[in-house]
Structure 1
Amino acid sequence: MYKIMIVEDDPKIAGLLKSHIERYGDQAEVVTDFENVLERFKQLDPHVVLLDVNLPRYDGYYWCRQIRLVSTCPILFISARSGKMDQVMALENGADDYIPKPFEHEIVMAKVRSQLRRVYGDYAAKSEERKVVLGGLTLYLESMELELGEQRVPLSKKETILLETLLRRSPRVVSRETILEKLWDDAFVDDNTLSVNVTRARKRLAELGIEQALETVRGSGYRLLVTWKDGSRP
């Protein structure tokens, strides 16, 4: 059974989508708190997201970008906006498909099933996920997760890039300039943003029981130096 998350502020449309999804034997969850869509996404951990563009407070493009920071799960926009630029914006912001309203429910379900087959089923890529390993610590680059033993913690995109850079060069020091260059993708990153992401990365490591591993080397940069409880290093 797959889990589909519906982010649609029209209760009638949301209800109809939920009904059709459940007829196919899958689970449908309708979001009603439109100020905390990302938090609800993390709680549900769905296989597919159906996302409207016109939402209260923040639009669907915003939430699509936020979800893309933590997940690569398929996102399908369903919107009354049918213009070419609306579809382009959806795809540019990380969507996998765009379905204009009014729509046929059979078309929506066919597109959902297509995404499920592509990502999780018969058509899913069989290649092993890229990862960086340091001793027993494993960073999964596509799923953006950090693993130690039986524990895994989710990461944001920038946390993943930061830890990848440090893991690949451990135990060497990596300059702030080098890390900032890695973090620059489509958005400017300043020293303050770097410091925030370093703090968050430390929290993720701490969740796995790894304390004081991400060191600040004054005047130089940062170093990831993992030491196990017995004092040994990977």
Structure 2
Amino acid sequence: MSSILLIEDDTSLFQEIKEQLASWDYEVYGVSNFNDIMQDFTSLKPDLVIIDIQLPKYDGFHWCRMIRMHSNVPIIFLSSRDHPTDMVMSMQLGADDYVQKPFHFDVLIAKVQAILRRVYDYNTEQIELRTWNSATLDYAKNTVTNHKGTIELTKNEIYILKVLIERKNKIVSREEIIQRLWDDERFISDNTLTVNVNRLRKRLDELSLGRFIETKVGQGYQAKEVAHPHD
């Protein structure tokens, strides 16, 4: 049974979401102190976090930053604000998905199931090391290492990289990446994929690898493999 930390200060909405998730056999927990959410997160060690953007004292973006300093746990943002920048900010901070209020519970449940299924299936795969442009990818640890150092990626970022490297030097369509990453493309926007790939490329730039993830306009993305990546 997967555990979910639901960070929502609207009591009635919290109870409604909790009941809906509980009906699917998820264990749902709230926070005891909105001034110190990390205390509950650390003690619960949830499998998934659902967090509202508008919260007392500090907003959801703040707590997402705090969580990402310690964990790559999947995060879904909830927001009642109709600002496209909220979704972009969420993805840039390392969130896995974004749900606009008001929403149908079927959509939220589908997103939760897809993310947990992906993370669970991914974590149960055989530990695999792969090399790409003289870098070593550790899919179990979500890390990429080369002569410049090691970076740790989010689960979305490492999975996108994995999909691209499986077909290195070939174009992978945006639709295929979306379907493999989120199971059902109806529940994710095209813009979210763009944000995730841009964030992945920016992280890879720390190892001088970002330039090998190429955007093919109107087609998709390509992970290039070259003979001498340090040249």
TM-score of the two chains, using structure 1 as the length reference = 0.54
Letter in 2 for 1:66: M
Secondary structure at 2:17's aligned position in 1? helix
C-alpha displacement of 1:36? 1.1
1:44 paired residue number: 44
Aligned counterpart, 1:82: 82
Give, in whole Å, the separation in 2 of the partners of 1:51 and 1:25. 19
State yes or no: 1:101 paired with 2:94: no
Amino acid at match of 1:29: Y
Q: Helix, strand or coil for the counterpart of 2:66?
A: helix
**Does 1:142 find its partner at 2:145?**
no
Q: CA deviation at 1:127?
A: 4.8
Question: Counterparts of 1:49 and 1:80 in 2: how far apart (Å)?
Answer: 17
Q: Deviations over 1:129-157 (max 9, x none)?
A: 77xxxxxxxxxx8389xxxxxxxxxxxx8
CA deviations 1:63-102 (Å, max 9, x no partner) are 0011111111110001102321110001111111000000
State how far apart, in whole Å, the 2-side matches of 1:124 and 1:80 are. Answer: 33
Runs of 4+ in structure 1 deviating by more than 3 angstroms, as ranges, are: 141-144
**Counterpart contact for 1:7–1:51, Cα < 8 Å:** yes
Calculate the aligned-residue CA RMSD, in Å. Answer: 2.3
Q: In the alignment, is the contact (CA less than 8 A) between 1:78 and 1:99 conserved in 2?
A: yes
- Match in the other structure for 2:10: 10
The residue aligned with 1:65 is 65
- After TM superposition, the structure 1 = structure 2 runs for residues 118-129 of structure 1, keeping only pairs within 5 Å, are 118-121=118-121, 124=123, 126-128=125-127
Asked if 1:27 is matched to 2:27, the reply is yes
- Identify unmatched segments of 5+ residues in structure 2: 130-139, 144-151, 153-202, 204-231
Judge conservation of contact 1:49–1:75 (CA < 8 Å) in 2.
yes
The answer as to whether partners of 2:21 and 2:109 remain within 8 angstroms in 1 is yes
3-state SS, counterpart of residue 31 of structure 1: coil
How many angstroms does 1:17 deviate by?
0.7
Distance (whole Å) between structure 2 residues aligned to residue 129 and residue 5 of structure 1: 30
The residue identity in structure 2 corresponding to 1:41 is F
Contact in 2 for aligned 1:3/1:27 (Cα 8 Å): yes
Report the CA distance shift for 1:114/1:56 in structure 2 as closer, same or farther (over 3 A): same
Rounded to whole Å, the distance in 2 between the matches of 1:76 and 1:104 is: 15
Indicate the structure (1 or 2) with the bigger Cα radius of gyration: 1
Question: d(CA) in 1 for partners of 2:47 and 2:88?
Answer: 23
- TM-score where L is the length of structure 2: 0.54
Identify the residue that residue 207 of structure 1 maps to in structure 2. none
Contact 1:117 1:124 in 2 (8 A): no
SS in structure 2 of the partner of residue 49 of structure 1: strand
The higher relative CO (CA closer than 8 Å, separation ≥ 6) is in 2
Deviations 1:15-41 (A, max 9, x none): 011101110011000114111111110
